[in-house]
Amino acid sequence: MTTTGMQHEKHRLLGRLVRDTATGRTGVLRAVAPDGDAPTPVAWLIPAGGGIEWTTPVGAIEPVTVPTPDRNSLQEG
C-alpha cells in the first residue's frame, strides 16, 4: 500500500470519472482513504457537477469510458 498523506492511498483512477458498481452512480474519484473505524480504505466519490460526496468499496469502482465515433462512420457522412 502506498499512501500520499492523511492516510490517502494512490490509485490510478484518482480525479477521473468512475462508476460505482454498488449503486450504479457515476462520480469523480476524489480519494481512497479510511472512513472512520472501517478496517479497509474506501473510495470517496463526488458527482461530476458537484454535490454530496459518498463512499463505496474500492473494488466497486470502474472507469467510465466515453465512446468515440467510429472512423468509418465519419468518412461515410
pLDDT digits (tens, 9 = 90+) for 14-53: 999 999 999 999 999 999 998 887 778 999 999 999 999 9
- Contact at 8 Å (CB) between 27 and 46? yes
**Residue 8 class from Cβ within 10 Å (0-12 exposed, 13-18 middle, 19+ buried)?**
middle
Q: What is the pLDDT of residue 1?
A: 45
The pTM of the full predicted model, rounded to 2 decimals, is 0.75
Domain 3-64, second-level architecture? Roll (2.30)
Q: Phi and psi at residue 50, in whole multiples of 5°?
A: 100, 165
